């Protein structure tokens, strides 16, 4: 998938004119790309549209109007757009109270390295790769962040196994071991990333 450029990001007035329609499109798109694993971890598999929406909304909220400001957002978020053979996901640890945050974020240190896909009838394991730039900012020894960015690189044979199914998204952290089989709709959606279509 092509990286976003300055020309892809609308100025604030132009974005306001298309925002409701684009937002509805991205909400519908994320419906097929959102996967809940266990009681409070959610993955959103990113693509060009989800990342463009993220940048447009960031520019809108923070009133970023300079090319330099938009370029900084492009540098931060463009690496999350998957290339063919790859998947990119934002992992959210969705805790809603201070008590839960204090209990779980220290327990879940390293969770971003314990995500894997199991593809095809042989359940071949495809380990995740945390995004190195974001990992430097988000990972601590004593507490984890509630948002992580992780990706998966699949060989052509693994892409075909992914297409054939089943595909399981799993977390193997000692404090949070959960898994979920992807639906056919999600698998078909993610194949568009893996095949670059």
Residues 99-133: tens digit of each pLDDT: 999 999 999 999 999 999 999 999 999 999 987 76
Residue 3 CB partners (closer than 8 Å, separation 6+)? 74, 78, 81
**Domain range for residue 74?**
6-194
- Across the range 56-85, mean pLDDT stands at 92
Q: Is residue 29 part of a domain?
A: yes
Q: Is residue 1 part of a domain?
A: no
The total domain count for the chain is 1
pLDDT in tens, 21-40: 999 999 999 999 999 999 99
Q: Is residue 97 part of a domain?
A: yes
Q: Which residues of 146-177 are buried (b: 16+ CB within 10 A; e: fewer)?
A: bebbbbbebeeebbebbbebebbbbbebeebe
Look up residue 82 and give its DSSP letter.
P
């Amino acid at each position: 998938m092509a990286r976003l450029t300055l020309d892809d990001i609308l100025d604030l007035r132009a974005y306001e004119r298309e925002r409701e329609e684009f937002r509805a499109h991205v909400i519908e798109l994320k419906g097929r790309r959102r996967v809940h694993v266990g009681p409070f971890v959610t993955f959103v598999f990113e693509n060009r549209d989800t990342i463009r929406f993220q940048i447009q909304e960031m520019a809108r909220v923070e009133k970023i109007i300079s090319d330099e400001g938009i370029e900084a957002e492009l540098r931060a978020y463009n690496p999350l757009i998957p290339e063919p053979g790859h998947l990119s996901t934002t992992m959210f640890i969705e805790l809603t109270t201070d008590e839960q945050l204090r209990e779980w974020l220290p327990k879940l240190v390293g969770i971003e390295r314990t995500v894997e896909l199991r593809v095809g009838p042989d359940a071949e394991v495809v380990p995740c790769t945390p995004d190195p730039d974001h990992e430097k900012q988000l990972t601590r020894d004593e507490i984890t962040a509630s948002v992580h960015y992780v990706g998966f690189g699949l060989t052509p044979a693994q892409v075909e196994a992914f297409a054939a199914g089943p595909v399981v998204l799993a977390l193997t952290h000692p404090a949070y071991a959960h898994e979920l089989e992807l639906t056919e709709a999600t698998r078909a959606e993610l194949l568009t990333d893996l095949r670059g279509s």
